[in-house]
Structure 1
Amino acid sequence: MLNTEISAKGAVLVISAIADSLTRQVEAVGDTLSETFFEPVIRLGVTGLARSGKTVFITSLIANLMDRGRMPQLVAAADGRISAAYLQPQPDDTIARFDFETHLAALTAPAPHWPDSTRTISELRLSLRVRPTGLLSGLQGPRTVHLDIVDYPGEWLLDLGLLDKTYDQWSTDVLARIDKRACAQGFMERARAADPAAAFDEPLAQDLAKRFTAYLNDARKAGFSDCTPGRFLLPGDLAGSPVLTFAPVPLLGASRRGSLHREMERRFEAYKSRVVKPFFRDHFARIDRQVVLVDALGAIHSGPEAVEDMRRAMADILSAFRPGRNAFLSRLLMGHRVERILFAATKADHLHHTQHTRLSAIMEALTREARDRADFAGAHTQALAIASLRATVEETLDHDGKTLDCVRGTLLDSGKRAAFYPGELPEDPARLLSPARSGAQKWLDGDYAVMNFAPAPLVLKPGEGPPHIRLDRAAQFLIGDKL
């Protein structure tokens, strides 16, 4: 009887895999025909880790593509080949629309404020009328290129790494990594006291999951990036369900049926199959270009451990762009790969422009391992320091006989105007990454401050989008070749 059940389950898995494969092939053929004979579509995925500014990035990008006066590095805009840009209904009626108008109103109000962050997947379509170039351009009229922007939480992307792991592998890795973190001690004490081999107890499982979720929220606030499973932080309508009621527990010896460990393992597998896989099947597998936004300055301020954790997270994120690594993902993508990936260090306006090159170099180094993996898979990658919306002005001050390159803006907590000097970033990124990789608890030769600024009041001329730093370069890398 047991063998029959196993065979039946195996057959179901095979049929499911074949169905997924056929579905992706049909969709791929349809996409190819649409782009060849009708109007090309660029699906741009935008994701980022906590406090990286996804909502502001998308809002400013759309606004600056519609009014292109501040986009000189976007070649099609500089050449005047984009004759119009307009919003259209998104093609997927099952996904929430990105609320561009509300977010832009927040940034351009007389008393501007940062818009609320999105907590689930959303989408928006921007259509561009572009005049062709080349020898035959005079014989062709303008064409329409659709830009479908898909916004989703970075924690969901990190979840892909779970597909390659068993429950025991995941538990061992998580418990070893967080064992000495202060914000994890409440959960660790409860996890050590639990007996994984004991009979399953639902109240205990709920208590462990609740404590683990509290740890993940505290870890994110502390600047850590490895906050998975991502839906524990953004549960939505899954809140309280068994698929979100598990946690890592240590196991010595074999697991037995009916035990706490066995049920935790079952729920972990259910999370992978019913939460993680559907997201990648329905949304991620169709993305052509990708932006990963990173609050590198926030991680540097939080200390070496947060920087090393961010470096590992960047490497894990790239597993999503390596379809050969995971059997499920390889079948799912059917040869479709993300063509270009931009790693963007946000909030460059918190630094004087003289330090932007150093921030870019640090971003390059932080993502080196991740980018090497993506380049090996055939994707073009780039790292930039950007500010989606410039909230400061630059200022040079004399202090104790020294000249300091500062930025001045409105402080978010007090509303007062203040000049800010965050400290000088090192020319050599190794001075940050080496102590981070060696497990240092604090920086030995500097303390890097962070200040939160409110958006500045905007006075926009006709044809101008919101002020930014290198958003036009980001757009050129991501979509310039398609225009």
Structure 2
Amino acid sequence: MGLFDITEGLLRGMGNVTSAVTRPVTAPFTDPVIRLGVTGLSRAGKTVFITSLVANLMDRGRMPQLRAAASGAIRTAYLQPQPDDTLPRFDYETYLAQLTAPEPSWPEGTRQISELRLSLRVQPTGFMAGLQGVRTVHLDIVDYPGEWLLDLALLDQSYATWSKAALARADGRPSGDDYLALVAQTDPDRPLEEATARSLAQAYTVHLNAARAAGYSDCTPGRFLLPGDLAGSPVLTFAPLPGGDFSRGSLGREMGRRFESYKKNVVKPFFRDHFARIDRQVVLVDVLGAIHNGPRAVDDLRTAMADILSAFNPGRNSFISRIFQGRRVEKILFAATKADHLHHTQHPQLTAITQALLREARDRADFAGAQTAAMSIAALRTTVEETVEHRDGPLDVVRGRLLDTGKQAAFYPGALPEDPQHLLAPARAGAADWGEGDYKVMRFAPAPTTLRPGEGPPHIRLDKAAEFLIGDRL
């Protein structure tokens, strides 16, 4: 452990003490605050999840499984200015307008950190009703770009370790062979030339974008995909190279230095300033998309989610633990999205596959004292269910508007197995395909809908997800 790490640890500990004493959520006689982190990899549906959750908490007609809504304990919900003036506000109004327009469209994916505060006026019911009056509970929702999540696993890796794993992953992935060919022509011990460094970084970025488009999850560093204002800076101008004991002034030595700078100046501040302050966490997972992309994509998703969850600080919050350990994630929900792409008769299989896929991550969180759950959801329902006649008998399908053509189509993705190991075993073995199984996904557009007064957008189990995440605090 270096002097920087020791100093940073001491400063972080002091910061935890200060924040625990001064932050409103822990102070007595102030309104309680729930900080909900919404994370997930690209295309998992974070923006839609937040928009629909807020809309359905403000108009609770479709939230019967959220007990505080069903009992009338939530009197009203309203948006307030967010507590952190340095973060962009989640553009809820624009996204809701897109999803509920006469010709609805999907909003753009998350490209930066944003935050939104929803305040709920809650009247305790039952025994507590006579002891407490109406109180306000603030829900601070923090949205993270999914591409940045996997960077948290880099904190425990050296440049040599990361390079070895990254080069191994590139073999066989889209544009991976092109990058490996460029590396084969490069001597890491040659003197640093900035043009060579830029060429390698650009080629590696092309590979990462191609791999992500093909459905792979583990594509680090995440800022190579969404660089923001760091585009072109030296902190993003590095790439994996073989070896590890590079000479002073060499290309390899400078690549390693920039990798460490990336961790210090990009990844660590992101973890410290945002992840370490979360109470409750929802991890959105596009399990169906991974299954569609094949066994390698499924196993890649399994390992990626285990890496992501290793960065959380799960466990029960108490006043003492917040002072001496910092904030801990009390509840983690693993939600398989796009459940509306399946007939409801297949939802149990999707949930079971999600549970098995995330077993390692869930076990780690459960052991640390966090409460976890897995379920299949659709934050915005885009389809209706039908049963059609097929040559082999009746077939349960979903019907929706296709994103590419706008035409209505009935869709059957294939029968998910009852035993998740029928998918996970070939995934772990590195199988090229599913053999006899054939699983497909369809890209549906949002369905036009007419919302009656008091109703939020249609969904599947969003109320059950909300009950798990925040119901105990309402």
Picking from 212, 236, 240, the partner of 2:204 is 212
What letter is aligned with 1:298? G
Question: SS at 1:27's partner residue?
Answer: helix
Change (3 A) 1:460 1:331: closer
Question: SS at 2:154's partner residue?
Answer: helix
CA contact (8 A) 2:17 2:322 kept: no
Please tell me whether residue 356 in structure 1 is matched to residue 325 in structure 2.
no
What letter is aligned with 1:165? Q
- Mapped partners of 1:65, 1:433: distance in 2: 36
- 2:464 alignment counterpart: 473
Picking from 84, 92, 111, the partner of 1:92 is 84
Please tell me whether residue 26 in structure 1 is matched to residue 18 in structure 2.
yes
Please tell me whether residue 376 in structure 1 is matched to residue 367 in structure 2.
yes
CA contact (8 A) 1:20 1:331 kept: no
- For residues 17-416 of structure 1, the aligned pairs below 5 Å read 17-31=9-23, 34-251=26-243, 254-322=245-313, 334-416=325-407
- Mapped partners of 2:124, 2:27: distance in 1: 15
Deviations 1:419-456 (A, max 9, x none): 11111111110000000000100001211111111111
Shift of 1:278: 0.5
- Mapped partners of 1:302, 1:208: distance in 2: 27
What letter is aligned with 1:195? D
Question: SS at 2:28's partner residue?
Answer: helix
CA contact (8 A) 2:20 2:322 kept: no
Aligned residue pair count: 469
Change (3 A) 1:240 1:219: same
% same residue: 68
- 1:434 alignment counterpart: 425
- Mapped partners of 1:322, 1:303: distance in 2: 32
- Mapped partners of 1:111, 1:319: distance in 2: 41
- Mapped partners of 2:436, 2:44: distance in 1: 26
Change (3 A) 1:13 1:394: closer
What letter is aligned with 2:175? C
Change (3 A) 1:161 1:428: same
What letter is aligned with 2:186? A
- Mapped partners of 1:302, 1:136: distance in 2: 51
- 1:6 alignment counterpart: none
Question: SS at 1:47's partner residue?
Answer: strand
Question: SS at 2:198's partner residue?
Answer: helix
Deviations 1:168-226 (A, max 9, x none): 01101111222222431111111121111111111111011001111111111100000
Question: SS at 1:83's partner residue?
Answer: strand
Would you identify which runs of 4 or more consecutive aligned residues in structure 1 move more than 6 Å?
Answer: 330-333
Shift of 1:332: 11
Shift of 1:46: 0.3
- Mapped partners of 2:128, 2:38: distance in 1: 34
What letter is aligned with 1:122? S
Question: SS at 2:115's partner residue?
Answer: strand
Shift of 1:378: 1.1
The gaps in structure 2 that reach 5 residues or longer are: 316-320
Shift of 1:140: 1.9
**TM-score normalised according to structure 2 size:** 0.96
Shift of 1:401: 3.8
Change (3 A) 1:132 1:97: same
What letter is aligned with 1:277? K
CA contact (8 A) 1:192 1:250 kept: no
The gaps in structure 1 that reach 5 residues or longer are: 1-8, 325-329
What letter is aligned with 1:240? G
Shift of 1:336: 2.1
